[in-house]
Structure 1
Amino acid sequence: MGKREEKARGGRVDWLADRALRGMIALALALPHETRVRLMGCTVRRIIAPLAGYRRRSMENLAHVWPGMPEAERRRIADAVSDNAGRTMIENYDVPGLLQRMADAPVTGDGLPEIERARAEGRPVLFVTGHYGNFEAPRAALVARGWRIGGLYRPMANPFFNEHYAANMHALSDPVFEQGRRGTMGLLRHIREGGMGVLLFDVYSSDGVAIDFLGQPAPTLTSAAEIAVKTGALFVPFFGIRKADGLSFEAVFEAPIPHGEPVEMMRQATRRLEARIAEDPTQWFWIHRRWKPKRQARRQRKRAAANMGP
């Protein structure tokens, strides 16, 4: 690979990081399922999270929304979050195994009869969820039962890692689209034609609308709700809840959110996620830079200055 091409696709540091990650994944996948899941959870919790700053970021986010929480409790949650992140990553890299395990997993929720009816009628369905438990588990549960469910993913900053990350998502169920205008239009066409898809909405976006999340404003894209309204798709929150054994899941499909103003629809989706976090905060991905309060404050100051004029 020439220097110019290498720079375009990622540098040496990215390549080395990807090689190390590929090796770790390959080693883990060679182990029995229970051993690999526990090992990856422990590795991320004890080694990767402290070194990469994930534990610190989780604790800062917890302090941002729950300032009265004792430090020891914040550390406990942050460590459990890192453990869940490691488990989720390796579970999702074993697509055949995930499909096999989710084929027999409990599938529940008030929305289940409605999505089954929509499928029978050929009506599109758009599922929305957050980075809670294992967010791919409900999709895998339906795919294992013969459903075809597409999705939209945010590409990784490391292009070498993104190659196998994207391929792994395609292996679970196509069509899968890369986030961006082209990908959103592709998902929109898929849904409009009567298809089913999944969108994760709990990530920061500078183009989003400020919707309170756990008591603090969090910029949130309304594109999921807009797609549902445009296509007439059933708008269904789902969650893959990790059970007490740390290895199995319950796939919960909640009652559909009625169509209406997209911001209000996303506000309702946010409330559904908040309720799950209240039940077990260790299962949500506190590692995300979900709020970015300093960046939000800078944007507000710029807007205020612009409105004041010369």
Structure 2
Amino acid sequence: MIPPFPLSSDPPPPGAPAQARPPDDHPVDDRSASVDPPDARPSDPQPDPLRGGRQAAPPPPEPDSPPPPDKKIRFKDRATLFGLNLLMWLPYERRVRLAGWVGRTIMTRSSSIRPRIRAAVLHLFPDLPEAEVARICTSVPENLARSAVELVSGQDFYAHAAQTPISGPGWDALQEARRAGRPALLLIAHFGNFGAVGAALKARGFRVGAFYNPLPDPATNRFYTQSLSLLSDPLFPSGREGVAKMLRHLRGGGMVAISNDLDRPHGVMLDFLGKPARTVLSMAEMALKYDALLVPVYGIRREDGLHFDITIDTPVPHGDPAEMTQVLNDSLGRMVTLHKEQWLWWHRRWKDGHPADAEENEG
């Protein structure tokens, strides 16, 4: 399945214990961008048996190179790519509407998504009327499916979203940062569709980089990244090399979009929608280190399911990293409260076993 939100990786805070990080998380340290690994030095030249001279030694194999895909992966890759190309034959609006139908009818009946959404919504809003809970449980998969198809629609989605009006209290500050060459960190979330924001900003001359998680199937990943590159440029694959490239981009006055609405083991306990949730401080710490503008941005889907309202929220004043991150949580919390059907409720933002859960039980 094509993930609907490519921008789901957040770099961990400096000093986070290594054993507490997921494999793709790395400390925010720009030294990794300029230090070569020990085996990067050129080897001594070796004799060329055919020419009698000396030639450079072949580069050593990369230890982290993935093995060639097996037959099952190749078949899945080709089948997925065939399905994507077939889908692209449909007119843009028809394919997005078809995705919405699949999301609200098939996805909600054939998976565990609906009960997980219901449990999460009632955890935060226990007094919500049953009819509203049912509407959210149906609408969230619909938004997910629409977003997935939009993000792989490449030029069609870009042309559709590029002229979307941009507003909000932080829009002037973001434009000023671009004029001044000041770095900027744009908080995104698994909400609405950030791709619409990326298209609208790129059409206005902004260059906003973004993290993405590469897909395991090579051909499908090429299709996916070609579409994403029309919305965000440059793209930084998750991992150490991606972090290093992102930091160089940021140091040079670039803009980067990063999400922080997932549970992370190295996060600190902050309030989110009235409940304690582990939240990384990476964005605030990078904003302080590089004197970057820190601003939440949202692509809010309209009721017609096809168009968006783009909001640039109030920039976060620099100060204590935890307090800055709490402001980010509060901004997203307001948006989720207003548009509950547009946030991915099933990714377990509040997991069992949190220290805060134990404290609540003891209380």
SS at match of 2:345: coil
> Is the contact between residue 124 and residue 192 of structure 1 (CA under 8 Å) also seen in structure 2?
yes
Is 1:216 the counterpart of 2:275? The answer is yes
Partner of 1:207: 266
CA distance in 2, matches of 1:215, 1:13: 45
Opposite residue 173 of structure 1, the aligned amino acid is S
CA distance in 1, matches of 2:116, 2:74: 25
- Residue 173 of structure 1 deviates from its aligned partner by 2.9
- TM-score, normalised via structure 1 length: 0.85
* Gap change, CA 1:217 and 1:145, over 3 Å in 2: same
Q: Please list every run of 5 or more consecutive structure 1 residues that lacks an aligned counterpart in the other structure.
A: 1-6, 302-310
Q: Please list every run of 5 or more consecutive structure 2 residues that lacks an aligned counterpart in the other structure.
A: 1-65
SS at match of 2:294: strand
Name whichever of 246-255 and 26-35 sits farther off: 26-35
Partner of 2:349: 290
CA distance in 1, matches of 2:227, 2:316: 30
- Residue 26 of structure 1 deviates from its aligned partner by 2.6
Opposite residue 284 of structure 2, the aligned amino acid is A
Opposite residue 296 of structure 1, the aligned amino acid is H
Which portions of structure 1, spanning 4 or more consecutive aligned residues, are displaced by more than 6 angstroms? 9-13, 298-301
* Gap change, CA 1:259 and 1:15, over 3 Å in 2: farther
SS at match of 2:263: coil
Deviations 1:179-224 (A, max 9, x none): 3343223212211111111011111211211222222222211111
CA distance in 2, matches of 1:215, 1:37: 34
CA distance in 1, matches of 2:268, 2:241: 21
Aligned residues: 295
> Is the contact between residue 99 and residue 143 of structure 1 (CA under 8 Å) also seen in structure 2?
no
CA distance in 1, matches of 2:134, 2:238: 33
* Correspondence for 1:118 among 177, 196, 203: 177
Partner of 2:122: 63
> Is the contact between residue 122 and residue 128 of structure 2 (CA under 8 Å) also seen in structure 1?
yes
Partner of 2:289: 230
Partner of 1:277: 336
* Gap change, CA 1:297 and 1:18, over 3 Å in 2: farther
> Is the contact between residue 93 and residue 306 of structure 2 (CA under 8 Å) also seen in structure 1?
yes
Partner of 1:86: 145
SS at match of 1:136: helix
* Gap change, CA 1:244 and 1:230, over 3 Å in 2: same
SS at match of 2:246: helix
Mapping for residues 238-257 of structure 1, pairs under 5 Å: 238-257=297-316
Q: Percent identity between the aligned chains?
A: 38
Is 1:264 the counterpart of 2:323? The answer is yes
* Gap change, CA 1:281 and 1:145, over 3 Å in 2: same
- Residue 20 of structure 1 deviates from its aligned partner by 4.8
- TM-score, normalised via structure 2 length: 0.74
Structure number with greater Rg is 2
CA distance in 2, matches of 1:61, 1:12: 39
Richer in helix (by share): 1
How large is the Cα RMSD of the aligned pairs? 2.7
CA distance in 2, matches of 1:10, 1:193: 37
Opposite residue 180 of structure 1, the aligned amino acid is G
> Is the contact between residue 336 and residue 343 of structure 2 (CA under 8 Å) also seen in structure 1?
yes
Mapping for residues 1-310 of structure 1, pairs under 5 Å: 8=67, 18-155=77-214, 158-159=216-217, 162=221, 164-292=223-351, 294-296=352-354
CA distance in 2, matches of 1:226, 1:155: 26
- Residue 256 of structure 1 deviates from its aligned partner by 0.7
- Residue 163 of structure 1 deviates from its aligned partner by 5.2
- Residue 165 of structure 1 deviates from its aligned partner by 3.5
* Gap change, CA 1:260 and 1:184, over 3 Å in 2: farther
- Residue 146 of structure 1 deviates from its aligned partner by 1.9
- Residue 64 of structure 1 deviates from its aligned partner by 2.1
- Residue 95 of structure 1 deviates from its aligned partner by 2.2
* Gap change, CA 1:207 and 1:155, over 3 Å in 2: farther
